[in-house]
Amino acid sequence: MDTGLIAIAAGLAVGLTGLASGWAEKDIGSAAVGAMIEDDSLFGKGLILTVLPETIVIFGLVLGIMLMGQM
C-alpha cells in the first residue's frame, strides 16, 4: 500500500482527535479551574472531568500507532 497515504492517515488520526479533545477540554478545564478556586476540595472532580475527553485522542493515538505498523 502507499506508505505516504498511511502516514497521512496516521497524522490525521492523531491531529484531528487532538484538536477535538482540546476543544472539548477548553471549556471544561476553565470551568474546573473556576470551581477549584472557590472550593479546592473539588480538585479531584475537576481533574477527572477535564481529562475525560482525553480518551478521544488516545483512540486517535492507538489508531495512529497501528497504522504506522502497516507501513
Partner 1 sequence: MLLPESMSRVLIVGSKSHMEDTVKALYDIGKAHLIDYSEGDDPGFGIGKSFPNAAVASERLVKLRAMEKELGLKEKDKQLENPVSAKEIRELIESNGIEQLEKELFSIVDSRNEIAQQMTERESLIAELRPLTELPLSLEDYRGYESITAIVGKVRDDPSECLKDIEHELFLSPSGKVAAIFVPKGKKEEAMSALSAVGFSEMSVPEGKGSPGEIIAELEKELEELREQKERVDAQLGSLKDKHLSFILASEEELAIETELASTPLRVATSDHSFVMDAWVPTIEVESFKEQLTRETADSVHVDVLETRGRSVHESEETESKFKDPPSKLKNGRIGKIYEYFVTLINTPRYQESDPSTLIAFTWPLFFGLMVADVGYAFAFIIIGAIVLKKTKSTTWKALGTQSIFGGIWALIFGLFMFGEMFGMHFVSYHEVSGLASTDWETIIAHIIPGFTFPAWLMDPSQMSLSIGINKFEEVNTLLKLSVYIGIVHLFFGFLIGFFNVKRQHSTKEAIYEKASFIMMLVGIVMVSYVLTELLLAGKALEGDLTYLIGGGAGVLAVGAVLGFRGEGLNAILELPGIFGNILSYTRLTAIALSKAGVAMAFNYMSIFLLYVGVGGVIGFISGLLIFMVGHLLVFLLAVLSAGLHGIRLHYVEWMGKFFAGGGKDYKPLAVNRLNTKNAEKEVY
Partner 2 sequence: MFGRKGNYPYAVARVRGKKRMLLKGEDYSKMMVMELPEISRFLGETNYQKEMAELGGRFEGVDLIEHATYRNMARNFRSVLDFTNGELHDMLAAYLTRWDHWNVKVILRGKSFGADMESIREDLVPAGNLSEEYLNSLCSMEMGDELFAELSRKLNAPLPPSAVEAYKQFGKLTSIEDYLDKLYYERLLDAIGTNTKPKRLFRAFIQREIDIINLETILMLKEEKAPPEVILNYFIEGGLQIDRKMATNLANAEDRKALAAELVKLDFYEEIKEALESEEKPLRNVMDALRLYQIRKTETLSYLYPLSVIPVFDYMFHKKLEVDNIRIIARGKVSGLDTDTLKRLLVI
Contacts with partner 2, residue ranges (CB under 8 A): 27-28, 30-39, 42
> Which of residues 11 and 34 has its CB atom nearest to partner 2 in the complex?
34
The torsion angles phi and psi of 28, rounded to 5 degrees, stand at: -60, -45
Q: Choosing among partner 1, partner 2, none, which partner's interface includes residue 16 (Cβ < 5 to 8 Å by kind)? A: none
Is residue 69 within 8 Å of 11, Cβ to Cβ? Answer: no
Q: Where along the sequence are the contacts to partner 1 (CB under 8 A)?
A: 43-45, 47-48, 51-52, 54-55, 58-59, 61-62, 65-66, 68-69
